[in-house]
């Protein structure tokens, strides 16, 4: 079974509740506590480019069988005074059978499906984007195929959360995701995934960046721009989205992969959000 990325909000243990960014002193204090709880703790400094990687603030969980003993490996990426590290902790588990070996085939299928989908919205999650979609897109690109992706951002997410509360913006994000899933997703060719709290990834095989942008522009023009919220008195909450597209054909040779495609989409998203803010000001 592949390790999965899980969003961390509140879990027991100082490690799982730690801040996303640490000082050197806080890091050393944390490592001392971890070494008392785990069999092995390793900290590896990463390349500076990882600062722009799109992993979220989560924990990767893997199970492995070594010398007849099942072990659990936890991995997390952290930032310490501008440097980025991969923190790994390993501890043995009771028994000598991996968790998936105890499952029926149907249970394995259901587990894989759950691990691939976002709990709130039902669209694909970051684990799927990183471990499955990423490999598929890179393989398609290596064969010379066409593909394009887009980031879809809910405008004013932080302000909406402050004004209406988390349950309301959760409804809004779920509605937004399901609109794209309903009108765009097609198994094996087009997918919708949730990248962050307020940003979706929309990807399509067999088309260029401009073609995807035209498709999405047409779909967005026909979508409802308000969502019925059900906390207290029923009411409609208007919203807008910002969309940034890019295609593999726009990338340099040797860089035609998901990481480069994402960075180009992200750069265009930042530019469009900045332009929107300047117009509003």
For residue 12, what pLDDT band results from cuts at 50, 70 and 90?
A: very low
Q: Give the chain's domains with CATH numbers.
A: 4-100 (no CATH), 117-280 (3.30.70.270)
Percentage of the chain with pLDDT > 90?
Answer: 30
Residue 248 pLDDT > 50, yes or no?
yes
Q: How far apart are CA 191 and CA 194, in angstroms?
A: 10
For residue 246, what pLDDT band results from cuts at 50, 70 and 90?
A: very high
Residue 67 CB-density burial (10 A; 0-12 exposed, 13-18 middle, 19+ buried):
exposed
Percentage of the chain with pLDDT > 70?
Answer: 78
Residue 132 CB-density burial (10 A; 0-12 exposed, 13-18 middle, 19+ buried):
middle
Residue-level pLDDT at 94:
63
192 beta partners: 202
Residue-level pLDDT at 188:
79
Residue 190 pLDDT > 70, yes or no?
yes
DSSP for 223-237, please give it: S-SEEEE-SSS-EEE
Q: Of 144, 164, 148, nearest to 156 (Cα)? A: 164
Angle between helices 134-142 and 258-280 (to 10 degrees): 110
Q: 0.85 cut: is pTM over it?
A: no
Q: How much is the average pLDDT of 138-164?
A: 92
More confident residue, 62 or 109: 62
């Amino acid at each position: 079974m592949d390790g999965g990325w899980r969003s961390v909000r509140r879990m027991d243990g100082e490690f799982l509740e730690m801040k996303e960014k640490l000082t050197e002193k806080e890091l050393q204090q944390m490592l001392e506590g971890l070494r008392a709880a785990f069999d092995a703790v390793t900290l590896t400094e990463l390349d500076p480019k990882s600062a722009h990687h799109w992993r979220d603030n989560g924990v990767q969980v893997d199970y492995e069988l070594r010398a007849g003993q099942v072990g659990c490996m936890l991995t997390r990426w952290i930032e310490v005074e501008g440097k980025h590290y991969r923190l790994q902790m390993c501890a043995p588990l009771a028994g000598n059978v991996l968790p998936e070996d105890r499952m029926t085939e149907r249970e394995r299928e259901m587990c894989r499906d759950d691990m691939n989908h976002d709990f709130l919205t039902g669209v694909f999650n970051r684990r799927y984007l990183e471990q499955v979609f990423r490999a598929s897109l890179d393989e398609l690109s290596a064969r010379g195929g066409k593909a394009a992706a887009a980031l879809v951002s809910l405008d004013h997410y932080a302000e909406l959360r402050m004004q209406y509360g988390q349950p309301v913006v959760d409804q809004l994000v779920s509605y937004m995701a399901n609109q794209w899933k309903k009108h765009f997703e097609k198994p094996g060719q087009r997918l919708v995934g949730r990248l962050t709290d307020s940003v979706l990834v929309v990807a399509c095989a067999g088309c260029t960046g401009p073609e995807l942008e035209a498709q999405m522009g047409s779909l967005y023009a026909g979508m409802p721009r308000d969502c019925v919220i059900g906390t207290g008195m029923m009411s409609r909450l208007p919203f807008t989205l910002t969309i940034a597209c890019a295609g593999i054909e726009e990338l340099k040779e040797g860089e035609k992969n998901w990481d480069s495609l994402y960075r180009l989409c992200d750069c265009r998203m930042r530019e469009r959000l900045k332009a929107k803010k300047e117009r509003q000001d």
